[in-house]
Structure formats: structure tokens, C-alpha cells
Chains A and B, each alone.
Chain A
Amino acid sequence: MSKKQQAQKNLNLTVKLTNYLTKHPELNKYVWGASGVSLVLFSATDKNLNKENEKLVEELKEEGKKVVKAEETKNTKEPWKFITL
């Protein structure tokens, strides 16, 4: 997958996530926490994208960043799951 494709796909997920969080503002503090975090998104269906993003997570962790994984789910009641790494 090219960087352009990865960026485009992650931007699609970013729009979905930000739309969800603006509808549920009470979740903002839990997702983002009090300190700065780096968010990497994971798709519910796109395995290739997730593989690339897993590599991205590893690189960020090596740089010493505090990473939070935002995983899209297939559950309409809870469309996103957040995991602090």
C-alpha cells in the first residue's frame, strides 16, 4: 500500500471518528486524556491498512510516544474501542 493510499484511508477513518466524538463530547476526555497522545486508527474491515498502521504504532512507540489505538468496530452501539499502549 502506498503512503498516499494509507493517508487517504486513515483520513476517512479520522472523519468517522471525529464525527462520532463531536456527537459524544463526554468521551473526549477519556479518548485524549489529560496529556498529549498520538492516535492511530484501525479499520473494522481493511486488514491491509491495519497491517500498515501496526507498523506505524511500532515506530511511534520506538520514538517514545504515548500511543492510543482507536479501533473501529462493527458494533453500531459502540463503534469505536480505545486501547492505550
Chain B
Amino acid sequence: MRKRRKVKRKYYSGSVINELIKLVQQDKSRTLTVTETIPKEIYLTNFDKITHLRKIDEKGDIMEVINVSYEIKLENDWITIVRYDSAHGHLHRHTLFSLDSPDELVDRDRVIKRGNPELWYTWAIEDIKERFLEYRKGFTKRSKILNLGY
């Protein structure tokens, strides 16, 4: 029996495909590749970090925000308590409810509505800068953890 080769498929969201079509229409000689970057971490303390993952084109421009997340370390486990992505063509937030409940609240409340992936990416990091304590307080309170988990 002939063995079937496994095909690794790549899926891009509609917004990325639309952006690629626009770029090809602007310059037909241009070769386009989209790179899905490996998640990158920026450590804030040994108990806090930001992880981000983006789709970038060959010039390094951001095509899609796959993930910008704020993670906290609790008892040797890193937990993503809030994350942003632009999977449906707009930026939205996922907030983890608590340690006991894996449910996420998905919303766009106080989230930037306009702009492009580049702006959304910097906005998400700016938002974590402004509100990381609020996110940490909310999560630790709902999880009944004292001292913000620090």
C-alpha cells in the first residue's frame, strides 16, 4: 500500500490574504512571503513576562498580531492571564477568568478599534504597560491568591 505523505498546511487569516492581494496589486513583480515568527519573550521580572507572536512580511512589516500576552508565574507554571490577537481582522482581548476556571472572557471593551496590525501590536503592549497591575489584581483576586502572586 502506498504511503501518503503528510502535507503541512499553512492557513492565513482573511485579513492577511487581503493585505497580500493589495500588495501584489501594487507591485506585480514583488515576491511575497509571510513569516510566522516564533513566540518571543520579554522578561519583566522572574514572575512576569510578555510573549508576542506576529506574522511579518519579507520586509519585516507586521501583517497580523497572532498573540501579545501578559503572563505570570505561579508555583513554577507560567499562566497567560491576558492576551490580544487580531485573528478576525480586528484586535480583541482574551482574559483568563481564574486558576480554577479555564474560561476566557473575549471582548473589545476599551480596545483600539481602528488602525492596522502594526498599530495594534504597539497598542497591545502599551495597554499591558498601563494595566498589568489591574489584570494581575483581577486574576489573583478571582483565583483567591494573596499578595498578587508575587
**B37, B40, B121 pick with most chain A CB within 10 angstroms:** B40
Provide the residues of chain A in CB contact with B59, threshold 8 Å.
Answer: 25-26
Task: List residues of chain B with CB within 8 A of the CB of A60.
Answer: 43
Say if the beta carbon of A44 comes within 8 Å of chain B: no
B61–A25 touching, CB < 8 Å: yes
CB distance from B119 to the nearest CB of A (A): 9
| Pairwise interchain contact B62-A10, C-beta atoms closer than 8 A | no
Instruction: Report the contact-size class of chain A (Cβ under 8 Å from the partner).
Output: 20 to 34
* Contacts of B45-79 to chain A: CB distance below 8 A: 45-48, 50, 56, 59-62
The answer to whether A35 touches B150, judged by C-beta atoms less than 8 angstroms apart, is: no
Instruction: Give bound CA distance, A38 to B40, whole Å.
Output: 7
- Among residues of B, the one whose C-beta sits closest to the C-beta of A30 is B60
Give chain B interface residues in 110-135, CB to chain A under 8 Å: 118, 121-122, 125-126, 128-129, 132-133
Q: Which residues of chain B are within 8 angstroms of A2 by Cβ–Cβ distance?
A: 150
Asked if residues A4 and B150 are in contact (CB atoms below 8 Å), the reply is yes
Kindly state the interface size class of chain B when it binds its partner. 20 to 34
Output the least CB separation between B36 and chain A (Å): 12
Indicate whether A36 sits within 8 Å of B44 (C-beta atoms), given known contacts A12-B129, A28-B56: no
Find chain B residues with CB under 8 A from A59 CB: 46
Within the complex, the shortest CB–CB distance from A1 to chain B, in Å, comes to 10
Min CB distance, A23 to chain B, in Å? 10
| C-alpha spacing A22/B65, complex, angstroms | 13
Q: Is B14 an interface residue (CB 8 A)?
A: no
Q: Find A7's partner among B38, B41, B132 (CB 8 Å cutoff).
A: B132
Q: List 5 A-B contacts (CB under 8 A).
A: A3-B47, A12-B129, A22-B121, A28-B56, A39-B42
Report A's interface with B, CB cutoff 8 A: 2-4, 6-8, 10-12, 14-15, 18-19, 22, 25-29, 32, 34-41, 52, 56, 59-60
Give me the 7 closest cross-chain CB pairs, A-B, nearest first. A25-B60, A11-B129, A10-B44, A7-B44, A28-B60, A3-B150, A36-B38
